[in-house]
Structures are given as C-alpha cells and as structure tokens.
Structure 1
Amino acid sequence: MSEKLLRVGTTYIPVVSVEQSTEWYVNKLGAELSYQDKDKAILNFANQSIFLVKSKENQSANFYDIYGNEHFSLTFEVDGLHALEAIHREFIEKQIRVGEIEERGHTGRNFVFYDVNGNKFDVWSELSPLFKEKYECSK
C-alpha cells in the first residue's frame, strides 16, 4: 500500500441533547459551531471537526480497560506544562469536572476532564513534534 492515512479529520461524540451539548462545548471549550440540527452539531476546535451526535441515554465515548478502569478515547494536546496548568485552572473556574494533574510515567503531564454528558477526555502537556514543525509552534 503506497498511500497513508494522513490525519484524523472528524471525531464523533455521543450526546443526549445536541442543543445543551453544543452550548457547553462552545461556552466551556471555545468550540466554533459550523452546523446544527436536531440530531447533530458540527463543531470546530483543536484543529479538528467534532460531531456531537444525538444518542440513546447512557451512551458515552468512554470504555473500560482490562483492569476495570474507565478510559478516555481522545487526548487533546497543549504546548507545555505551563499551558497544561493554565487550562486546568481555567476548566476549574468554568466548573468543568476535571481530575488532578498527574504524572503517568511518560514525558509530560496529563489531566482528565468530562463533558456535560460524562464523556471523558484527556489533556497532555506535550505537542507532537510533527504538529509543532508543521504549525511552527514554539515553547
């Protein structure tokens, strides 16, 4: 195979209320709304399209690992520990449910947060080298 997958373009997130969830993502995370109807919303943030899809009750993007720990399916990146600490404080001020900043035995630090539907996400203090190079990010 000579062609490669180049990027993740869209992530789909299950939500109970498209309207309430859209408002949460726009107001709490600064997402930009591109489209909305009764069944879905298309948001742009973190260099990606995020589809909020109306789902049945008790659905989430979370899963459980072999040890029974609830796991996130998506990690957002920020540029350095200072940025991670700042966004962690900001999320707390915005009353977003967040976990503690933690060391997980690899480069950088992380924390988890939850959206209004209980979808669990991760934030990591390290930008990928390819992203930094492509977008000329600097520390």
Structure 2
Amino acid sequence: MNNPLQRVGTIYLPVENLEKSTDWYIEKLAAELTYKDLDKAILNLADQSFFLVRANKGQSSNFMDVLGNTCFSLTFEVDGVNSLHALREDLLKKGVKTGEVENRGHPGRNFVFYDLDGNAFDVWSELSSTFEKKR
C-alpha cells in the first residue's frame, strides 16, 4: 500500500517575541517572510513553510529523552561535509548559538544550533535519497 502522506508541509515553532524572532530567521537563516499578523509569521525556509507562533516565555519545540538530554525535533540537510562546516562558520559569524560538529556513528556529520527562544535544530551533512533524485 502506498502511503498517502507525501511530505511535511508546515512546521510550527513557539516564539516569545514574534517581531524579533521573525527578523532573526530572516537575517540569520535567509528565510522569506510570506505573511505576518499579531500572533504568527509564516516563513519559507529550506523548501518548507515555518509558522512562528507567539507563545508564552519558556516554550520551545525541544523535548527531553529518557536519559534527560534535550533533543531537537527537526534536522536540516546540507550537501556534504564542506557545506556543513561552511554553514556552521556562517552561523557563528552571525552570532548564532551553535554546537560543535559531531560524529554520531552514522554517515555524515552533524551540528546543532538554536534560535532566540532556544528551539534546537540539527544540521546533517547528507542529503536524503529522495531529495537527491529530485535535484
């Protein structure tokens, strides 16, 4: 049976200050603003629609695993280890809180970065096979 779910269309992220967060995503990640009102902003980023939703202080998309580690819920992909290192250096220059490049025991390398509200995002140096075929 074929899966009728074709792709993830929208990702929702809680943010405390909608104005500052919208500017951060545009300036740091080159997101494109497509809509904004008092409670949300819609951004295009990495061929996805991201909704920044105004939320109470301390909210994030992160969660704790059974070992007590804070985990991200989203991984971006880049095309190769050189692109991974270049992106990390660019984010560091822009003042983005960014972790070290990691070897997690699978193909490629990863690092984690954080937005203004502490939402964690992973970056992986490998493109998915489905995306590779579409290029």
Name the TM-score class by shorter chain: over 0.9
**Distance in structure 1 (CA, Å) of the matches to 2:61 and 2:3:** 29
Q: Offset of 1:38 from its aligned partner? A: 1.0
- CA deviation string 1:61-112 (max 9, x = no partner): 0000000000001000000001001001000000100000000010100000
TM-score normalised according to structure 1 size? 0.95
Query: What is the deviation of 1:3?
Result: 4.8
1:94 alignment partner in structure 2 = 94
Is residue 2:2 matched to residue 1:17?
no
- 2:121 alignment partner, SS class: strand
Q: What is the one-letter code of the residue matched to 1:15? A: V
Superposed displacement of residue 12, structure 1: 0.1
Aligned to 1:72: 72
> 3-state SS of the aligned residue for 1:67?
coil
Kindly report which structure 2 residues correspond to 1:1-139, keeping only aligned pairs within 5 A, or say none: 3-134=3-134, 136=135
AA aligned to 1:115 is D
> Residue deviations 1:31-58, cap 9 Å, x none?
0000011100000010100000001111
Q: Distance in 2 between matches of 1:3 and 1:28?
A: 35
Amino acid at match of 1:48: Q
Query: What stretches of structure 2 of length at least 5 have no aligned partner?
Result: none
Q: Which runs of 4+ in 1 moved over 3 A?
A: none
Q: Percent identity?
A: 58
Q: Does the C-alpha gap of structure 1 residues 103 and 2 become closer, same or farther in structure 2, counting only changes over 3 Å?
A: closer
Gaps of 5+ in 1: none
- The offset of 1:2, in angstroms, is 5.2
Residues matched between the structures, number: 135
Matched residues in 2 for 1:128 and 1:93: separation? 28
Residue identity matched to 1:112: V
Computed over aligned residues only, the root mean square deviation of the Cα atoms, in angstroms, reads 0.9
- Which residue identity is paired with 1:7? R
The SS at the match of 2:118 is: coil
Q: Secondary structure at the match of 1:38?
A: coil
